[in-house]
Chains A and B, each alone.
Chain A
């Protein structure tokens, strides 16, 4: 091979990608099982041919990635952060006091984490701990499980660079009562770093688990969370998944969520996006068996110049499923919310009942909402519906409250809060729900 050819084969099209290829190549491989090394090599090769998505790409047409891709990101290892226990206090979830894992600037902090009182057959740990114990093979079959992300640049950036993340493995018939809380806390003043958490959640048949995945910031600043979640819900098992993203409003948050659901299983998730200057969440749920129930709810609340973009795809590949989706967005100031929800019903996937609703509350003159709910149906015996609304608060509702002596601003805040609360009320962890409700209330009154 001539040098020119070599250069062509190893040069990425965009400096943003090239930088992460270099970082990925420099990463250590010791202690990695072969499949992990292969995953990284594969992603690095793939990245060479991938470009940063632009406005011409249908999936990215409403947001501008330039502030993300034009920055020189350094690896998380260059921006360490040692939080104190006090610093974490505000995000503690008492219900999960015996199952909390803390990551700071992408790095696992065992000293601040607690894993205790778990039933036998439930494992809550991290990639780094499993690597050190030489036991990573327990998750080998649950990583990089879907072709859906094959050409996704952010997914591949994660695969090429991730070092750590949450691992939850619950064996057959095991029910984990207490929620598991993974807290990613960031110090944005530590330098422009990129972290690539890789979270893996796996259940055995008839198992049950609740996971709270939270991103928060101790000090505001610029950083980039590029997350991949891989959730495998075994037949007849149940996973509740709550994601709370309150990253710094100077930060970037990109997440790819792969959810594979087996027959008779139930997956319920609520994603709350309040933080980050730019957040982009994509979820792909594959219905891999009959009689599945799946709920994918979300709340976005953005102000200032924040942008939040949620893309979901529910892929009904087997008959007899029920799926529900409620995505609400509140947009204030110059903020911008985007929603794209796809519902696929494949051929012969009969008797699917699928409902999707996207509601947007536009509070300001300069705010913007783009929504595109989308149905692609290839089977006839189905009941599928979607709805989307964009509007401001109803004048008559405000009047109702004002007629009862509630001041206009207060009435506005109450109604905005009520709009958001419909999504939050399904969060089963009480203290977390109350904390989020309080947060929304505070934000609406400020």
Chain B
């Protein structure tokens, strides 16, 4: 039975192509001078350069953490290129001006940057390596008062907003990789939804690491004013290279009174080959603050790629009655390793959080859930419910659960449940007996296992995610 599973799993990486676009980049390695260069290239104001330099100074004093349940060769920070941008730069008014090779890349990935866009009502801020290439739907958003642009553009045009919020959720001292990001971040997305506005469409960014040896350090900042709402989608792919590439992003969300932010990710970075060579190191810091009362932040993630994933999208529930949610599917196959989960920090009264995590491990991969639920003494009447289920496919992989629960208020209720199981032969037999072949059966069982998460994804993402899991697991069960 297991040989079938394996063949099902060994599906080539479909997004593994490399576009030949001329790149403008810095020499590898990092020093103060490089940071000044990055800042100068981007024409940044002094306060931002200060921020970068402070972060760099702090970074030099830090040590790379090693507490996660993953094993890998530490990146050599002197060999990484910290800035890389497609060369032909001048600002474009329409997509026609974009280098056709880039557009072709997106085409292969199936991102409809053209008319289909309109039909799908999705605006895309495409980040190609580090610099934002084209932003569509700007007008429509502008009418609604929503600002959706690259963060470098935001620094130029809305410096006050960026200055006010940048680094407030993830301070530059936060952790090794977030600090590195603060020093060298090249671009990313910026979203600002003003008071009372419901963003008229779902915003989406497609990140793509294209150039070999390029670290991608994007920085995303989303601010939702009182009574505002936004749903943001992020998808990731990277082409195939033998070396390991580093991706150390920072995402900051701020939700003010009655605001709601929904952040969805489908992560399909290159995971390395079957022997575990190559692949992306995905070390990301994502955190949201429910600053105002009755605000809500919801993280949904489908993690299928990367050689090493190390991320914990978190919610700090400051406002009374605020809500944090985390829905996650993490799939690891071959030599992939994932240590992912969330942190819910309850500070305000009657705050609520829900954590649903589904881990699927196959091949010789290791999949860990690590989470923290913290009830501060002030978190009167707070509630948390966590559910972490793991599924093992094959007898050489591992599934691990490390939930931390820290409660300092007697009126707070915390519930945590976890289970580990596999696809039972009886379950398969049930399908086969009804004429459904093994692959379909497995795909359906997995879909059922992850149903709670897929429900949370916006429609087109849910379809993609379901397909992705199917592709990833093809031939792996039997």
Cross-interface CB contact of B403 among A348, A364, A369, A373, cutoff 8 Å? A373
Q: Which chain A residue shows the least CB distance to B409?
A: A365
Interface assignment of B415: CB less than 8 Å from any CB of chain A:
yes
User: Would B401 and A382 count as touching, CB distance under 8 A?
Assistant: no
User: Would A372 and B420 count as touching, CB distance under 8 A?
Assistant: no
Which B377-414 residues have a C-beta within 8 angstroms of A? 377, 390, 392-414
Residues of A within 8 A of B411 (CB): 392
Interface assignment of B47: CB less than 8 Å from any CB of chain A:
no
User: Would A369 and B407 count as touching, CB distance under 8 A?
Assistant: yes
Interface assignment of B418: CB less than 8 Å from any CB of chain A:
yes
User: Would B392 and A383 count as touching, CB distance under 8 A?
Assistant: no
Which A64-102 residues have a C-beta within 8 angstroms of B? none
Shortest beta-carbon distance from A318 to chain B in Å: 14
Q: Known contacts A58-B67, A347-B395, A364-B410: does B400 contact A387 (CB below 8 Å)?
A: no
Residues of B within 8 A of A378 (CB): 397-398
Interface assignment of B417: CB less than 8 Å from any CB of chain A:
yes
| C-alpha spacing A365/B378, complex, angstroms | 10
Cross-interface CB contact of A387 among B397, B407, B416, B421, cutoff 8 Å? B416
User: Would B421 and A383 count as touching, CB distance under 8 A?
Assistant: yes
Interface assignment of A381: CB less than 8 Å from any CB of chain B:
yes
Which A364-398 residues have a C-beta within 8 angstroms of B? 364-392
User: Would A388 and B401 count as touching, CB distance under 8 A?
Assistant: no
| C-alpha spacing A219/B4, complex, angstroms | 68
Interface assignment of B61: CB less than 8 Å from any CB of chain A:
no
Interface assignment of A126: CB less than 8 Å from any CB of chain B:
no
User: Would B395 and A350 count as touching, CB distance under 8 A?
Assistant: yes
| C-alpha spacing A392/B410, complex, angstroms | 6
Q: Known contacts A377-B398, A391-B414: does B407 contact A360 (CB below 8 Å)?
A: yes
| C-alpha spacing A373/B370, complex, angstroms | 11
Residues of B within 8 A of A392 (CB): 410-411, 413
Interface assignment of A169: CB less than 8 Å from any CB of chain B:
no
Cross-interface CB contact of A375 among B400, B406, B412, B422, cutoff 8 Å? B400
Shortest beta-carbon distance from A208 to chain B in Å: 33
Q: Which chain B residue shows the least CB distance to A363?
A: B410
Q: Which chain B residue shows the least CB distance to A337?
A: B407
Cross-interface CB contact of A372 among B397, B403, B421, B422, cutoff 8 Å? B403
Residues of A within 8 A of B390 (CB): 375, 377
| C-alpha spacing A348/B393, complex, angstroms | 13
Q: Which chain B residue shows the least CB distance to A368?
A: B408
User: Would B412 and A391 count as touching, CB distance under 8 A?
Assistant: yes
Cross-interface CB contact of A390 among B392, B412, B418, B422, cutoff 8 Å? B412
| C-alpha spacing A58/B402, complex, angstroms | 12
Q: Known contacts A348-B395, A377-B398: does B416 contact A388 (CB below 8 Å)?
A: yes
Q: Which chain B residue shows the least CB distance to A356?
A: B418
Residues of A within 8 A of B406 (CB): 62, 368-370
Shortest beta-carbon distance from B222 to chain A in Å: 31
Interface assignment of B419: CB less than 8 Å from any CB of chain A:
yes
Q: Which chain B residue shows the least CB distance to A352?
A: B420
Cross-interface CB contact of B404 among A348, A360, A363, A370, cutoff 8 Å? A370
Shortest beta-carbon distance from A356 to chain B in Å: 9
| C-alpha spacing A379/B408, complex, angstroms | 36
User: Would B401 and A373 count as touching, CB distance under 8 A?
Assistant: yes
**Interface bracket on B:** 35 or more
| C-alpha spacing A386/B390, complex, angstroms | 12
Residues of B within 8 A of A391 (CB): 412-415
User: Would A362 and B421 count as touching, CB distance under 8 A?
Assistant: no
Residues of A within 8 A of B375 (CB): 390
User: Would B420 and A375 count as touching, CB distance under 8 A?
Assistant: yes
Residues of B within 8 A of A368 (CB): 406-408
User: Would B414 and A390 count as touching, CB distance under 8 A?
Assistant: yes
Shortest beta-carbon distance from B378 to chain A in Å: 11
User: Would B410 and A387 count as touching, CB distance under 8 A?
Assistant: no
Residues of A within 8 A of B393 (CB): 380
Residues of A within 8 A of B420 (CB): 375, 377, 382-385
User: Residue among A347, A371, A392 with the most chain B CB within 10 A?
Assistant: A371
Residues of A within 8 A of B401 (CB): 373-376, 386
| C-alpha spacing A270/B379, complex, angstroms | 33
User: Residue among A365, A375, A376 with the most chain B CB within 10 A?
Assistant: A375
Which A301-347 residues have a C-beta within 8 angstroms of B? 347
User: Would B418 and A385 count as touching, CB distance under 8 A?
Assistant: yes
Q: Which chain A residue shows the least CB distance to B419?
A: A385
Q: Known contacts A348-B395, A377-B392, A381-B395: does B417 contact A367 (CB below 8 Å)?
A: no
Shortest beta-carbon distance from B116 to chain A in Å: 41
Cross-interface CB contact of A380 among B397, B417, B419, cutoff 8 Å? B397
Residues of A within 8 A of B422 (CB): 380-382
| C-alpha spacing A388/B399, complex, angstroms | 18
User: Would B395 and A380 count as touching, CB distance under 8 A?
Assistant: yes
User: Residue among A378, A383, A392 with the most chain B CB within 10 A?
Assistant: A378
What 1/0 mask marks residues of chain A from 138 to 178 whose CB sits below 8 Å from any chain B CB? 00000000000000000000000000000000000000000
Q: Which chain A residue shows the least CB distance to B424?
A: A381
User: Would B416 and A389 count as touching, CB distance under 8 A?
Assistant: yes
Cross-interface CB contact of A377 among B400, B407, B408, cutoff 8 Å? B400
User: Would B407 and A373 count as touching, CB distance under 8 A?
Assistant: no
User: Residue among A350, A369, A377, A382 with the most chain B CB within 10 A?
Assistant: A377
Q: Which chain B residue shows the least CB distance to A332?
A: B410
User: Would A367 and B418 count as touching, CB distance under 8 A?
Assistant: no
Shortest beta-carbon distance from A55 to chain B in Å: 13
Residues on A facing B (Cβ under 8 Å): 58, 62, 347-348, 350, 360, 362-392
Residues on B facing A (Cβ under 8 Å): 67, 375, 377, 390, 392-422
8 A–B pairs (Cβ distance < 8 Å), ordered by A? A365-B377, A367-B408, A370-B406, A372-B403, A377-B420, A382-B422, A387-B415, A390-B413
Please provide the 8 A-B residue pairs with the shortest distance between their CB atoms, ordered closest to farther: A380-B392, A385-B419, A391-B413, A362-B410, A375-B401, A390-B414, A388-B416, A384-B420
**New contact pairs (19) apart from A350-B395, A371-B416, A385-B419, CB-CB < 8 Å:** A365-B377, A365-B409, A365-B410, A368-B408, A369-B408, A370-B406, A373-B416, A373-B418, A376-B400, A376-B401, A377-B390, A377-B399, A378-B397, A383-B420, A387-B416, A388-B416, A390-B407, A390-B413, A391-B414
